[in-house]
Chains A and B, each alone.
Chain A
Amino acid sequence: MSTEHVNGKVLKHGTQTRTMHWIHLVAFIVLGLTGIGFYWDIAGIASIFGGPANASLVHRWTGVVFTVGPLFYILLNFDRFARFIDTIGSFSKEDFAWLKVMGGYLPFIKVDEVPAQDKYNAGQKMLGWMIIIGCILIILTGFPMWLWRHSMSAVFLNICYNIHFWTAMIMILLVAGHFFLAAIHPKSRVEFASMMIDGYIDAEISAHHNGKWFTQLEKTE
């Protein structure tokens, strides 16, 4: 961790990445809302979309966006995707040390110094994996319930339904936590603009929070 003040800003996420994140985020909210409306039979939610049949239509086609969006991104930005997988797929002793203290975010765990992290800290890496797995499960069980609902066996439809629901519940909780840290918690929301607005974060913050990554960066001007 550096002791001197660093000037400047870091471009953390490019335009394509931020666009993808926004699309996926909005899709997730629509999917979660309509999904909750179906599961708990909430007429109020269905009526926002013009009734349960329409809500289902919106849910399915938003699911298409939710699936196709990331696929497109991966195809057009395979290098970024590969770097991302490399980052979240590497767990060093600094990552495990971070996990032991949960990055200092929990009020009841006291910590003086958090070890230097990659572009994403260990907690974010874990979230990355859980979202990837969750999305695969939810997409894999969602489409058959729509496209093959007549031909597939009844018991399999039941299995898809249950996996889809439980995965959704877990993902909603994860995303709620992710949202809290990204937009509300005073220590972590400093990164908000880096994904949600212009892509930039103060160099001082990256040097402090993502030290291992910061040393790999190039000066561009």
Chain B
Amino acid sequence: MNSIISDGVIHVSDRCKACDHCTSVCPTGAIHGHLGQKHTIKVAKCINCGQCLINCPFGAIEDQTMVTAVKSALNDPQKFVVVQEAPAVRVALGEEFGKEPGFNAKGKMYAALRKLGFDKVYDTEFTADLTIMEEGTELIHRVFKAVGQEGFEESGPLPQFTSCCPAWIKYAEDNYPKILPNLSSAKSPQQMFGAVAKTYVAEKLGVKPADIFSVSVMPCTAKKYESSRPEMIASGYPDVDAVITTRELAQMIKDAGIDFVNLPEEEADKLVGTSTGAATIFGVTGGVMEAALRTAYEILSGQSLTNVDFKPVRGLKPVREATVEIPIQALGGKVLPVKVAIVTGTKHVAPVIEDILAGRSKYHFIEVMNCPGGCINGGGQPIRRDIYTEGGLL
């Protein structure tokens, strides 16, 4: 795991044809090389997002793997192996077995993980909900501070940025350290899960935390970096021991000879495995924002939402904004127009940050996802080689 921090997650193999396609998808300009010259990745600038990997026309870019560690743990009778899976995995995993993108493989995913030998199959969506609780409350506190409510002086400044995307976090740390106070202090759902697994779950199940091996299945290569960060030890142990991508899970399933498409639909284990729809949409750009708004609206207004869709925050445009009017019960029902922004694709975030640093930002809450479209298009997802559209040439 240490080499992931020192060497980075992504590297260009010898199969590079120097076609120079990747430099245009890299959000930080971390890829070096002219057309015709084999390209290399500068580890210091790389945010491990894997966009170059999934867009390489020759599959010449690779990510470091932790699969061996997972397989060892599964084969180790001493280890109690728990697994969590991100929302974006379940609508893409099926593609590795011939299904269309968007196919709901949730139930089969749980079944496959059990067949692979995981002791408990939970779900990152549980901690996605937990993130909403923590981050949503943090946002409310920052808003109260901004409107001058007493008792919230310690809270952070507005606008608040989401902090679940580790590529975005590293980008902010590398390029805009002044914006770090605006990042939510909440960990990502993956890391919250890891901390919870070796404390709360250990306690409830009566398992020694040292015996727990915590695995996550992610659509993301930057999550490998995140899990290896030295501060991610809140439980007293590495909170997440290993991360495998959707592609790697599919390969493990194939290697084990599991007939994926014919698996029965199963459910996640209870305790930290229950999902909500709000957690499910975390995988798409605008999803974290919408989930946060569903909860923030109800908590702040004291009212129940019948229609939970916040369509203005949806879509694939790189920068989107919306205003949501929320009546604040604690302020006597006063309506606050909450201005939110959603950024997908790190290369579009700089102007938004510059506005904030210059004091001219109008937003309260901003969601940033590095990958265009959100985690569903992450560096760990199945690689697409589509030529024809629906209507198509053939």
Contacts and interface: CB of A to CB of B under 8 A. Distances in A.
Contact of B23 (A56, A150, A155, A157): A150
A146 interface: yes
A150 B21 contact: yes
Interface in A148-178: 149-151, 153-159, 161
Interface residues of B, number: 20
Contact of A154 (B33, B35, B57): B57
A53 B20 CA distance: 11
Given A155-B386, A157-B57, A149 B36 contact: no
Given A149-B20, A150-B24, A155 B35 contact: no
Interface string B56-70: 111000000000000
A69 interface: no
A159 B385 CA distance: 11
Contacts of A56: 18, 34-37
Mostly, the B contact residues are: loop
Given A155-B386, A157-B57, A150 B20 contact: yes
B38 interface: yes
Nearest to A57: B36
Contacts of B12: none
Given A154-B55, A154-B57, A149 B19 contact: yes
Interface in A101-154: 145-146, 149-151, 153-154
Interface string B353-394: 000000000000000000000000000000001110000000
A158 B18 CA distance: 12
Between B17, B57, B385, the greatest number of chain A beta carbons within 10 A of the residue's beta carbon is seen for B57
A55 interface: yes
A161 B57 contact: yes
Interface string B34-49: 1111100000000000
B38 A52 contact: yes
A100 to B, nearest CB: 39
Contacts of B387: 153, 155-156, 159
A51 B37 CA distance: 8
Interface in A39-84: 51-57, 59-60
Contacts of A52: 18, 36-38
Contacts of A59: 36
A51 B387 CA distance: 34
Nearest to A59: B36
A38 interface: yes
A60 B58 CA distance: 20
Nearest to A155: B385
Contacts of A156: 387
Nearest to A150: B24
B308 to A, nearest CB: 36
B19 A161 contact: yes
B95 to A, nearest CB: 15
A91 to B, nearest CB: 32
B36 A145 contact: no
B392 to A, nearest CB: 14
A53 B37 CA distance: 5
Contacts of A157: 19, 21, 57
A155 B18 CA distance: 15
Between B19, B33, B56, the greatest number of chain A beta carbons within 10 A of the residue's beta carbon is seen for B19
Interface of B: 17-21, 23-24, 33-38, 55-58, 385-387
Given A157-B57, A158-B57, 12 more contacts: A38-B18, A52-B18, A52-B37, A53-B37, A54-B36, A149-B19, A150-B21, A150-B24, A151-B24, A154-B56, A158-B58, A161-B17
10 contacts: A52-B36, A53-B33, A56-B34, A56-B37, A149-B20, A150-B21, A150-B24, A151-B24, A154-B56, A158-B58
* CB-CB nearest 10 A-B residue pairs: A56-B36, A150-B24, A53-B34, A154-B57, A158-B57, A53-B37, A157-B57, A155-B385, A52-B37, A52-B36
